[in-house]
């Protein structure tokens, strides 16, 4: 079992990422760090607590991370988020108020301490902006060499962005932090290149609904909201993208994707803000900082995804 920390802005696909990590027998989910993006950080933290409670995973600590990028005074909610994830971030499905509170400790210190404790056995999966990870690296630069694996959901190299013509949402929230992280930490990038090919449909959510359990019905409602949103924004896809749970799957089983090594950086100039690019001047450089996922074994992943989530939902 690998120790895993999720750093997420709990929205709908982030909620599925939590479920995947809770369900996978190869994962020991040791904590969640809250980020901002799909929702404000406080709401994301509440959503994480609610989802964990729904799934019976009440021993997983939740920390509130940073609320905005270092360049903004306050977080401006992405205009598309409420349409895609609902006003409350989880498809406007009302889950009971969580019985637990978030932890009082500092989220960045929690992460740094976990790297010190678990080293190569620890995996970090950020599925929101990279603000928290950048802050941790600034405070303790050595952690990039000590941690076992960082697998992010973010960016794109072979397709345009999803919030602007050049930027994917997580990177666009804090391109400066993303650029720092890309240049300093070896990581695997699970971007739109592969997540837009890993889709879920009403057929799968119906299977959850048919379980007649609290979590099965709640997740069916939550994800149906997301599928409906995709029908409006991306009618050609015929389903919703499993962005964040795919990153969790790849973090544990890298064989779900094929990667190419590139020296990635993020543009912070206004015109191309948030674009992730492989440095063309360093294509001959054998030392690369990022493994970019470019192909996906969609069938194998979807099989694992449904086995894990349906198994978990059948119990709660
Ligand atoms: C990413 O942005 C968020 O809306 C999703 O949760 C995912 O992490 C996709 O671009
Ligand atoms: Ca997310």
Instruction: Give the nearest ligand 1 atom to 195 CA.
Output: 9
* Mean per-residue pLDDT, 268-282: 96
* pLDDT tens readout for residues 115-127: 999 999 999 999 9
Q: Please give the Cα distance from 207 to 210 (Å, whole number).
A: 5
Give residue 25's pLDDT band: very low, low, confident or very high (50, 70, 90).
very high
* pLDDT tens readout for residues 248-261: 999 999 999 999 99
Give residue 74's pLDDT band: very low, low, confident or very high (50, 70, 90).
low
* pLDDT tens readout for residues 181-224: 999 999 999 999 999 999 999 999 999 999 999 999 999 999 99
Which runs of consecutive H residues, i.e. helices, occur in the chain? 12-23, 41-54, 81-85, 107-118, 131-139, 143-146, 169-173, 175-184, 192-195, 202-209, 214-233, 243-252, 298-315
Residue 79 has pLDDT above 90, yes or no: no
244 CB less than 6 Å from ligand 1? yes
Instruction: Give the nearest ligand 1 atom to 12 CA.
Output: 6
Across the chain, mean pLDDT equals: 96
**Nearest C-alpha to atom 8 of ligand 1 is from which residue?**
127
The structure's pTM equals 0.98
Q: What is the pLDDT of residue 271?
A: 94
**Nearest C-alpha to atom 2 of ligand 1 is from which residue?**
169
* pLDDT tens readout for residues 92-140: 999 999 999 999 999 999 999 999 999 999 999 999 999 999 999 999 9
Q: What is the pLDDT of residue 70?
A: 83
How far away, in angstroms, is 286 Cα from ligand 2 center? Answer: 31
Whether the ipTM is more than 0.90: the answer is yes
> Which residue, 31, 38, 16, 248, is CA-closest to 128?
38
Helix, coil or strand: residue 264: strand
Tokens 């890298």 identify what position? 254
The helix, strand and coil proportions of the chain, stated in percent and rounded to the nearest 5, come to 45, 15, 40
Q: Is 9 labeled as catalytic in the residue annotation? A: yes
Q: Please give the Cα distance from 11 to 45 (Å, whole number).
A: 10
7 CB less than 6 Å from ligand 1? no
Residue 81 has pLDDT above 90, yes or no: no
263 CB less than 6 Å from ligand 1? no
Q: Please give the Cα distance from 56 to 34 (Å, whole number).
A: 19
* Mean per-residue pLDDT, 131-151: 98
């Amino acid at each position: 079992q690998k120790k895993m920390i999720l750093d997420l802005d709990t929205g709908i696909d982030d909620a599925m990422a939590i479920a995947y990590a809770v369900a996978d027998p190869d994962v020991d989910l040791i904590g969640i760090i809250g980020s901002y993006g799909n929702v404000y950080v406080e709401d994301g933290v509440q959503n994480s607590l609610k989802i964990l409670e729904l799934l019976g995973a009440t021993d997983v600590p939740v920390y509130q991370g940073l609320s905005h990028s270092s360049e903004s005074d306050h977080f401006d909610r992405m205009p598309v988020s409420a349409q895609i994830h609902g006003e409350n971030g989880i498809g406007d499905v009302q889950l009971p108020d969580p019985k637990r509170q978030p932890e009082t400790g500092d989220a960045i210190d929690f992460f740094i301490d976990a790297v010190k404790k678990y080293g190569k056995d620890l995996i970090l999966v950020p599925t929101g902006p990279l603000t928290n990870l950048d802050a941790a690296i600034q405070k303790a630069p050595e952690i990039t060499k000590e941690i076992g694996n960082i697998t992010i959901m973010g960016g794109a190299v072979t397709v345009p962005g999803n919030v602007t013509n050049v930027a994917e949402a997580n990177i666009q929230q804090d391109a400066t932090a993303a650029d720092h992280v890309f240049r300093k930490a070896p990581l695997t990038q699970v971007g739109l290149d592969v997540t837009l090919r890993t889709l879920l449909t009403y057929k799968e959510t119906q299977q959850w609904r048919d379980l007649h359990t609290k979590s099965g019905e709640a997740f069916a409602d939550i994800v149906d909201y997301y599928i409906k949103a995709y029908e409006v924004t991306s009618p050609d896809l015929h389903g919703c993208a499993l962005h964040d749970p795919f990153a969790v799957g790849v973090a544990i089983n890298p064989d779900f994707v094929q990667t190419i090594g590139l020296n990635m950086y993020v543009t912070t100039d206004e015109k191309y803000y948030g674009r992730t690019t492989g440095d063309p001047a360093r294509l001959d450089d054998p030392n690369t900082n990022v493994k970019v996922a470019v192909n996906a074994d969609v069938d194998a992943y979807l099989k694992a995804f449904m086995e894990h989530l349906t198994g978990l939902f059948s119990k709660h």
